[in-house]
A and B are shown apart, each in its own frame.
Chain A
Amino acid sequence: MIVVIDYEAGNLRSVMNALAAIGQPAVISGDPQVIGAASAIILPGVGAFGDCMASLRRQNLVEVLTQQVVVEKKPFLGICLGLQFLAERSLEHGEHQGLGWVKATVKKIETGDRQYRVPHIGWNTIELKESSPLFKGIAEEPVVYFVHSYHLVLEDDPEAVVTSTCMHGIEITASIQKNNIHAVQFHPEKSQQCGLKILENFATLIHGEDHAEEKTDSSPDHQGRAGGSERPVQAYQYHSLHAGHGG
């Protein structure tokens, strides 16, 4: 069962509808017990970074998420703000501390060109940079839906990789992966067939997983292989033909 984290913000319904469409059982919850029993966790989110992080803290969700995702290495998917939360800090309206699971900073998108407006709202082509199980079997030039004003800038984190980017005047991090932690800046739940496929791919990370075994073996060798979901050997490197503004 996938648990979609409820922290009283954002539009969870869209994510639930998309999971229902791919036949994936899921529940919305902010209850640590339910989250503890999850086989995978999705952290969606739209809204302001500071307020939403405060909401996560207020509901004591930071501890349980860290335990389930970082310690127990359950498959995790962060969406939009759920990607930005992974960073150590965000510069959105001041400076706010994030979950800090990834060495990164969230910064305002500064395109320096009025043609590339902010917020970056609309459909945009992503360029696949690194193989990711999320992108298995999707189109060569996936076009997905973005809506954000800030973006994650990955710093020196040896275990984290930018798996895809998009261009909106500047190069923007579209997705990252750090072991069992997957996160996308775009909205798969709003990216039609392509997005549903990405969610389906995420769901496959659950299957055949044995957390009891996972817990007993936390040697560095096994990091990033939660649930036996090794990265596919095949590298996805496509060229984006993206030209104009993302709409």
Chain B
Amino acid sequence: MPATAVDFFNKWAVDEIVVLDVSRTQQKREKFYEVISKLSEKCFVPLTVGGWITSTDEVRSLLRMGADKVSINTAAIERPALITECARIFGNQCVVVSMDAKKQAGGEYEVYSDRGRTPTGLSPISWAATVQELGAGEIFLNCIDHDGFRKGYDLELLRQVVDAVEIPVIAMGGVFTWDHLVEGVTIGGADAVAAANILHYTEHSTKKAKNYMREHGIDVR
């Protein structure tokens, strides 16, 4: 995300920014660091950074660049102790565990790692409870069946995870209409809702989204 986009986001009353390094290799990591540093200069809302985080040293570097929180996904699945290590040093509030889940043929859900490529055998409910136990402060929940398919959040999955933990759950993936945001909160029970393209490519998107949510009885900033 270019730094100019952040100027708009500040004016549009965006509540939080999440930046994920989705590169398949780390060749452009330096460039990513540059983006984070630039972003943080003008980003007077919480900035969460994710992708390629496998150590507390990496977390420390990102925080020094201006990140407020880090989002850990595959690395947490491969080595759950990383969550606890980060929480102990930087506090629970700093550690967001991001989870990609997919509905299986039998109707049950499964957590996937590696950007949705590798099934892990974990159920989202038990994994959510585990990461809370290990010290995560928030959960980003992404239903990868829905992401990019404009169907809205997977409300069934969302509700299951929300009910399984005490920590805040943020819904991601699949938002195509403002109604999707509303149902994420009212039906899914999410504490916050996130979206990408619909917010990036709509003029004054966040203000419109929040007005719509407010009209539907949701307390938004």
Give A residues with C-beta under 8 Å from B: 9-11, 13-14, 17-18, 20-21, 46-48, 51, 114, 117-119, 121-123, 143, 145, 147-149, 187, 189-193, 195-196, 242-245, 247
In contact, B168 and A247 (Cβ under 8 angstroms):
yes
Is the pair B64, A149 in contact by a Cβ cutoff of 8 Å?
no
> Of B20-28, B36-44, B72-80, B102-110, which binds chain A?
B36-44
A-B contacts, 7 listed (Cβ < 8 Å): A13-B63, A21-B41, A46-B91, A118-B166, A121-B168, A123-B221, A247-B192
A13 with B65: CB separation less than 8 A: yes
Q: Is B195 an interface residue (CB 8 A)?
A: no
User: Do residues B66 and A17 form an inter-chain contact, with CB atoms below 8 A?
Assistant: yes
Q: From residue B204, how far is it (CB to closest CB) to chain A in Å?
A: 16
Q: Is B91 in contact with A190, judged by CB distance below 8 angstroms?
A: no
The reply to whether B44 and A191 contact each other, CB–CB distance below 8 Å, is yes
Whole-angstrom distance between the alpha carbons of A122 and B194 in the complex?
13
- Do the beta carbons of A119 and B92 come within 8 Å of each other? yes
Task: Enumerate chain B residues within 8 angstroms of A122, measured Cβ to Cβ.
Answer: 15, 168, 191-192
Top-7 shortest CB links A-B: A244-B219, A13-B66, A47-B91, A123-B221, A147-B93, A143-B221, A247-B192
Which residue of B68, B137, B192, B221 contacts A14 across the interface (Cβ within 8 Å)? B68
Residue of B13, B68, B89 near A47 (CB, 8 A) is B89
In the assembled complex, B88 has its CB within 8 A of some CB on chain A: yes
- CB closest chain-B residue, reference A199: B44
Q: Mark B1-35, 1 if CB is under 8 A from A, else 0.
A: 00000000010010100000000000000000000
Bound CA–CA A162/B218 (angstroms)? 29
Q: Is the interface of B mostly helix, strand, loop or mixed?
A: loop
Bound-state CA distance A117–B189 (Å) is 12
CA distance A59 to B103 in the complex (A): 51
Residues of B close to A143: CB separation below 8 A: 221
**Nearest chain-B residue to A111 (Cβ)?**
B166
Closest to A123 in B: B221
Residues in B neighbouring A118, C-beta threshold 8 A: 166-167
Q: Which of A11, A119, A147, A187 contacts B63 (CB 8 A)?
A: A11
Could you tell me if B41 and A20 are in contact, using CB atoms closer than 8 angstroms? Answer: yes
Q: How far is the CA of A245 from the CA of B15 in the complex (A)?
A: 15
State whether the Cβ of B116 lies closer than 8 Å to any Cβ in chain A.
no
Of all chain B residues, the one with the shortest Cβ separation from A147 is B93
A51 to B85, CA, bound (A): 13
Q: Mark B55-75, 1 if CB is under 8 A from A, else 0.
A: 000000001111110000000
Q: Does B196 contact A (CB under 8 A)?
A: no
**Given A14-B40, A190-B46: A121 and B68 within 8 A (CB)?**
no
Q: Knowing A21-B44, A122-B192, A143-B221 are in contact, say whether A13-B64 is a contact too (CB < 8 A).
A: yes
Q: Decide if B212 is an interface residue (CB 8 Å cutoff).
A: no
Q: Is B138 among interface residues, defined by CB-CB distance under 8 A? A: yes
The reply to whether A245 and B191 form a contact with Cβ atoms under 8 Å apart is yes
Across the interface, do A48 and B91 meet the contact criterion of CB distance under 8 Å? yes
A21 to B220 CA separation, bound complex (whole angstroms): 26
Q: Which residues of the other chain, A, contact B178 by a CB distance below 8 angstroms?
A: none
Q: Let me know if B10 and A192 touch, CB within 8 A.
A: yes
Q: Smallest CB–CB gap between B61 and chain A, Å?
A: 11
Question: Is the Cβ of B66 less than 8 Å from the Cβ of A14?
Answer: yes
Contact B191 A247 (CB under 8 A): yes
Contact at A149–B92, with CB atoms within 8 Å?
A: yes
B134 proximity list for chain A (CB < 8 A): none
Chain A residues whose CB sits within 8 angstroms of the CB of B15 once the complex forms: 122-123, 145
Residue of A nearest to B67 (CB): A11
CB distance from B94 to the nearest CB of A (A): 6
Shortest C-beta distance, A108 to chain B (Å), equals 12
- Whether A192 lies near B44 (C-beta < 8 A) is yes
Give chain A residues whose Cβ lies under 8 Å from the Cβ of B127: none
